[in-house]
Structures are given as structure tokens and as C-alpha cells.
């Protein structure tokens, strides 16, 4: 199809970001991040099965500052995707579609995901694990 000189419809970047659209794309982004996280989970399990030496390497890599920053990101992606996934399943039952409800559930997901991530890491760091 030749576009020629016909005017194009307004593209994504001219729209003001809204809680609804931002959370929608974040669900996809966090999902892709978690897909990579599966590889980390599998690496951790394989390292544990491989023996003391490989497990020490894994804890050194994952427990480093850089590793912990990444794990923090994965924790946030995990809680966000989990909570927003529940929001999606509620929508699938036909409930919560009013704009006010969509915005409120969106903010609830954001706040809860942040809170759970913080609580999780406070417990991890207080326990000296990681």
C-alpha cells in the first residue's frame, strides 16, 4: 500500500500519557522482563543442582550490587504483573469497566506493587539473605 502524500492519523506520541495506557504497556513490559527472569530462576536452580562451586558462583553474581539491583527490578515487575494480572482477570468477568473504577484499580495496583516490593526487600535485607 503506497501512503503517498495522504495525511497520517495522529501517532502514539502526541497523546498525553494516562494511567490507563501507561499501565497497559507496563503490563507487557513487565511480562517480557519476567520472561527473562525465568532464565535467572532456572540458572539459580541449575546452579544449586550443580554443586557447591556453581552455587557459590551464582550467589556471587546474584548477590552483587548489580545483581541485587536487577533482582529488585524483577521483584517490582513480579508484583506489578501479578496484581495487574488479577485486575485483568476481574475485567474478564465483566466487572470494573467504569473509567473511575479503572483508574482507581490502576492506582491500587501501582501502590500495592510498590509496597509489596519494599516489604519483600526489607525482610530480605533484615534477614541477611539474598
Query: Binding residue for another protein (CB under 8 A) from 38, 65, 69, 99?
Result: 38
Is there binding between residue 114 and another protein (CB under 8 A)? no
- What CA–CA distance (Å, rounded) separates 88 from 10? 28
Is there binding between residue 80 and another protein (CB under 8 A)? no
Contact assessment for residue 116 and residue 79, using Cβ atoms and an 8 Å cutoff: yes
- What CA–CA distance (Å, rounded) separates 19 from 102? 9
Is there binding between residue 95 and another protein (CB under 8 A)? no
- What CA–CA distance (Å, rounded) separates 130 from 128? 7
**Nearer to another protein by C-beta: 11 or 16?**
11
- What CA–CA distance (Å, rounded) separates 72 from 88? 24
**Nearer to another protein by C-beta: 13 or 99?**
13
- What CA–CA distance (Å, rounded) separates 110 from 70? 19
Contact residues: another protein, CB under 8 A: 28, 31-32, 34-35, 38-39, 41-42, 45-46, 48-50, 52, 55-56, 59, 63, 78, 82, 85-86, 88-89, 92, 120, 123-124, 127-130
Amino acid at each position: 500500500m503506497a501512503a503517498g502524500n495522504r495525511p497520517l492519523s495522529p501517532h502514539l506520541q502526541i497523546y498525553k500519557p494516562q494511567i490507563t495506557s501507561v499501565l497497559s504497556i507496563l503490563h507487557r513490559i513487565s511480562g517480557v522482563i519476567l520472561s527473562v527472569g525465568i532464565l535467572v530462576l532456572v540458572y539459580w536452580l541449575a546452579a544449586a543442582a550443580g554443586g557447591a562451586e556453581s552455587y557459590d558462583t551464582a550467589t556471587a553474581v546474584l548477590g552483587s550490587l548489580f545483581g541485587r539491583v536487577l533482582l529488585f527490578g524483577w521483584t517490582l515487575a513480579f508484583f506489578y504483573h501479578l496484581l495487574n494480572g488479577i485486575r485483568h482477570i476481574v475485567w474478564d468477568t465483566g466487572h470494573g469497566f467504569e473509567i473511575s473504577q479503572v483508574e482507581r484499580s490502576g492506582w491500587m495496583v501501582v501502590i500495592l506493587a510498590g509496597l509489596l516490593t519494599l516489604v519483600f526487600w526489607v525482610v530480605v535485607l533484615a534477614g541477611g539473605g539474598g
